[in-house]
């Protein structure tokens, strides 16, 4: 509800503020300065009161320049008050003087609230879906003045103030209005604009002043190691991506080609002096590279503000602010728009599972466990030393749901890949017996987190058709990518961690031993269509001593390159969307580090260039052949041709989809060429070899079938006899069906 500007207790019969109020304002301990400062009716007249440190005299004026009266100094610290000559209550400007000069300031306490009763209602209900338009710092025009409206949730605080360079970081000068029904504090500060750093000074419920806090809804932040929030310029980018967005609004992403290039923005490329590229520089380099390499989407590891580079962004303190490492927020908008105009989608890694405990962040934000669960058995993550969001608190759920909607609306992102979903779903995740609290039914499932994820997915898909959500979920939790109304979590896709684990385990074996591990590659098809899967070869596999994908392949250098190319062919022919971490498309040799750029010079060497060309051509085939993507998530699009030839480590299957010719995928994972090898095929006729990862142009041996194989009918069976090159994957497409 809107608060009154004056109460009976704020004025004596002479119109002067009680001495106790004056002392509390000067000391910065008054919990409701709007009841003391500003313009107040006393009897039939108006009084003004202000706190202007360093001033010796203060004269009040209306915003139109009419003098309203000189104020008397009640306290040498800068408390002034006096009767006004105007009859209508209105915002005031003050002309202050001291021996050093004079200055003007507009009184924030002479303005009414910005938030209204409907905001209070929806915020309290937890149903407000435009919190990012109400909370945080917004440059607005209010009651005839231009300034910044600040609003922050801190329900247990005794006092909250905005501090910044505009008030000498003095928490006494811009204490905020407490909207007690919601726990929101707000103040409109006139005469300041975008670009000003600020934080919140909060006095906790025990009267202790907390470390200065960054704004949870900050839309811009200072560059680390500085940690202040920054008043952002209102978004000014003019978007030109409507064609891209319309396409995806009307598409079923399960039946589209989705090939994702996973990128760490801080280390894909760097300047020669080791500094970061700006978003505009990244747009000039990364977008053309992705287009040339054939990926459909870029997925950025978290780009929201975070204090510690080695966290890779997964420990964020500013969920609403694109990191200052890469320039202004508008630069990120320009990047997304440029990618869309080039036909490339942008997916963000999003971290609603936990947050770091840095003093300026969300931890104990108002002196209590506010965003995190108070009980460390639910509120502290033992693996990452982070705090876990309290998913049972509607305000926290609103904060996170609004953030998902914010990135979709304000920055037009095409998807959110939600990090660490498994840690959210299970109360006993990484905990021993006695270290976790069962749910109300006695189980280990975090029912509150489940409810949050379902709500987030419903709101994202309901408000932003065309935006996809992807779960990084490593367990057998059912229906992760099923709709909420069917009992699912509501994600569009789920990472297939089993595919990544099993295939990498298989290819780490020497070829002679692979026949004993044949099941590592066939087992995945028993569950391949239980979810809408993305096949990830992610950053997690190329850090912390795990080496690189090239290094994981068994054999000598030639075999490593050949196996990696064959592996990519296998993966691009396998049902499921694709994801590849940066550098692995050209067989990076050094393990990835966030502190250095990729080794781009490797592209000058034929084996590495050959891997890149393989990935480029696979992406082209995947996008251009409906059979390879149109039924990625449906069993009708897949059928085995050869599943049990473990002795020769050969695998073959068909991919089918409406609108295109069928494609056969055949892999030989030994260094032995298989001549006169018989492969059953569904139709007699000529089948064109549309890729052969052993081709000489890729750095292979150049063995093959001259580009064509012919399938013949022998009784009821149809098959083709062909050469399977060593350590290779080939794909065949029906081009001429036999009469």
* Helix %, strand %, coil % of the chain (to 5): 30, 30, 45
| Bridge-based pairing state of the strands 297-300 and 259-263 | parallel
**Is residue 200 within 8 Å of residue 212, measured between CB atoms?**
yes
Catalytic residue positions, numbered: 419, 472
Q: Residue holding tokens 């002034």?
A: 80
Range list of β-strands (E), 620-739: 638-645, 650-655, 663-668, 674-680, 685-692, 708-714, 717-724, 728-737
| Bridge-based pairing state of the strands 577-581 and 533-537 | parallel
Whole-number Å distance between alpha carbons of 379 and 74: 48
Please state which of the four CATH numbers 3.40.50.300, 2.60.40.10, 3.40.190.80, 3.20.19.10 is assigned to the domain occupying 117-231: 2.60.40.10
Whole-number Å distance between alpha carbons of 108 and 114: 12
DSSP of 455-473, one letter per residue? HHHHHHHHH-TT-EEEE--
Q: Residue holding tokens 């090159």?
A: 725
Whole-number Å distance between alpha carbons of 87 and 102: 27
DSSP label at residue 208: P
Cis peptide before 441 (omega within 30 of 0): no
**Is residue 404 within 8 Å of residue 356, measured between CB atoms?**
no
Q: Residue ranges of the alpha helices (H) in 97-140?
A: 117-125
Residues of the chain with pLDDT under 50: 1-9
Domain 19-110 top-level CATH class: mainly beta
268-319 pLDDT, tens digit each: 999 999 999 999 999 999 999 999 999 999 999 999 999 999 999 999 999 9
Whole-number Å distance between alpha carbons of 49 and 16: 9
The three-state DSSP-derived secondary structure of 590-601 is CCCCCCCCCCHH
Same fold, 19-110 and 117-231: yes
pTM of the predicted protein model: 0.94
Cα 162 to Cα 152, 229, 645: the distances in Å are 10, 11, 70
- In this structure, which topology does domain 557-738 adopt according to CATH? Immunoglobulin-like (2.60.40)
Burial bucket for residue 377 (CB in 10 Å: 0-12, 13-18, 19+): middle
Domain boundaries, given as residue ranges, for the chain: 19-110, 117-231, 255-495, 557-738
Residue 565 three-state SS = helix
**Mean pLDDT, the chain, whole residue set:** 95
Whole-number Å distance between alpha carbons of 590 and 549: 10
* pLDDT confidence of residue 390: 97
Range list of β-strands (E), 286-335: 297-300, 304-305, 318-322
**Is residue 69 within 8 Å of residue 61, measured between CB atoms?**
no
Residue 150 three-state SS = strand
CB neighbour list of residue 236: distance below 8 Å, 6 or more residues apart: 330
**Is residue 84 within 8 Å of residue 90, measured between CB atoms?**
no
- In this structure, which topology does domain 255-495 adopt according to CATH? TIM Barrel (3.20.20)
Residue 268 falls in which region: left (phi positive, over 0), alpha (psi -120 to 50) or beta: alpha
Whole-number Å distance between alpha carbons of 586 and 606: 10
| Token digits of residue 434 | 């006695």
Backbone phi, psi, residue 41, to 5°: -85, 125
* pLDDT confidence of residue 11: 61
Count Cβ neighbours within 10 Å for each residue of 486-507 and write b for 16 or more, e otherwise: eebbbbbbbbbbbbbebbbebb
Whole-number Å distance between alpha carbons of 411 and 433: 43
């Amino acid at each position: 509800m809107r608060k009154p500007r004056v109460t009976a207790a704020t004025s004596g019969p002479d119109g002067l503020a009680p001495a106790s109020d004056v002392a509390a304002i000067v000391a910065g301990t008054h919990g409701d300065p709007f009841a003391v400062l500003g313009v107040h009716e006393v009897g039939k007249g108006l009084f003004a009161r202000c706190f202007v440190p360093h001033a010796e005299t203060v004269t009040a004026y209306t915003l139109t320049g009419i003098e309203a009266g000189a104020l008397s100094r009640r306290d040498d610290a800068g408390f002034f008050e006096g009767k006004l000559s105007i009859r209508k209550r209105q915002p005031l400007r003050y002309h202050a003087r001291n021996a050093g000069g004079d200055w003007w300031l507009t009184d924030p306490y002479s303005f009414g609230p910005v938030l209204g009763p409907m905001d209070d209602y929806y915020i309290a209900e937890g149903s407000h879906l435009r919190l990012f338009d109400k909370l945080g710092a917004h440059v607005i025009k209010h009651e005839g003045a231009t300034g910044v409206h600040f609003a922050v949730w801190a329900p247990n605080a005794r006092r909250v103030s905005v501090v910044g360079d505009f008030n000498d970081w003095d928490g006494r000068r811009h204490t905020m209005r407490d909207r007690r029904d919601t726990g929101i504090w707000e103040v409109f500060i006139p005469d300041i604009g975008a670009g000003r750093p600020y934080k919140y000074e909060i006095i906790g419920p025990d009267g202790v002043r907390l470390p200065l806090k960054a704004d949870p809804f900050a839309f811009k932040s200072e560059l680390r190691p500085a940690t202040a929030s920054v008043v952002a310029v209102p978004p000014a980018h003019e978007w030109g991506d409507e064609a891209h967005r319309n396409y995806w609004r009307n598409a079923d992403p399960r039946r589209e080609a989705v090939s994702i290039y996973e990128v760490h923005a801080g280390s894909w490329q760097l300047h020669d002096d080791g500094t970061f590229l700006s978003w505009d520089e990244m747009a000039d380099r990364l977008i053309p590279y992705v287009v040339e390499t054939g990926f459909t989407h870029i997925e950025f590891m978290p780009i929201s503000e975070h204090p510690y580079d080695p966290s890779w962004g997964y420990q964020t303190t500013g969920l609403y602010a694109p990191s200052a490492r890469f320039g202004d927020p508008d630069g990120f908008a320009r990047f997304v728009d440029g990618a869309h105009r080039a036909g490339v989608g942008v997916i963000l890694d999003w971290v609603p599972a936990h947050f770091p405990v840095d003093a300026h962040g969300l931890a104990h934000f108002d002196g209590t466990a506010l965003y995190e669960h108070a009980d460390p058995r639910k509120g502290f993550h033992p693996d990452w030393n982070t705090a876990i969001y309290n998913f049972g608190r509607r305000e926290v759920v609103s904060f996170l749901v609004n953030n998902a909607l914010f990135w979709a609306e304000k920055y037009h992102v095409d998807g959110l890949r939600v990090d660490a979903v498994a840690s959210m779903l299970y109360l006993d995740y990484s905990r021993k017996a006695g270290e976790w609290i069962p749910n109300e039914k006695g189980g280990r499932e975090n029912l509150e987190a489940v409810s949050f994820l379902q709500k987030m997915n419903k709101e994202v898909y309901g408000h932003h058709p065309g935006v996809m959500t992807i779960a990084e979920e490593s367990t057998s939790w059912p229906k992760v990518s099923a709709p909420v109304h069917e009992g699912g979590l509501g994600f569009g896709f789920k990472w297939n961690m089993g595919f990544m684990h099993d295939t990498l385990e298989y290819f780490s074996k020497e070829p002679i031993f692979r026949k004993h591990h044949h099941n590592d590659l066939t087992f995945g098809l028993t569950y391949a269509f239980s979810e809408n899967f993305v096949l990830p070869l992610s950053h997690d596999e190329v850090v912390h001593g795990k080496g690189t994908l090239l290094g994981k392949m068994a054999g000598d250098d030639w075999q490593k390159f050949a196996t990696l190319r064959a592996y990519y062919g296998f993966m691009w022919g396998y049902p499921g969307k694709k994801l590849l971490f940066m550098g692995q498309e050209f067989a990076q040799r050094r393990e990835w580090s966030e502190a250095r750029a990729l080794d781009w010079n490797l592209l000058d060497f034929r084996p590495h260039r050959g891997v890149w060309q393989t990935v480029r051509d696979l992406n082209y085939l995947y996008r251009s052949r409906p059979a390879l993507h149109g039924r990625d998530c449906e069993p009708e699009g897949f059928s085995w041709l050869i599943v049990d030839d473990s002795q020769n480590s050969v695998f073959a299957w068909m991919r089918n989809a409406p609108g295109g010719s069928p494609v056969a995928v055949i892999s030989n994972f030994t260094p032995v060429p298989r001549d006169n090898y018989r492969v059953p095929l569904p139709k007699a006729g000529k089948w064109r070899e549309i890729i052969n990862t052993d081709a000489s142009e890729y750095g292979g041996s150049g063995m093959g079938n001259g580009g064509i194989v012919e399938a013949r009918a022998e009784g009821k069976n149809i098959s083709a006899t062909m050469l399977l090159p060593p350590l290779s994957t080939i794909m065949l497409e029906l081009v001429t069906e036999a009469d």
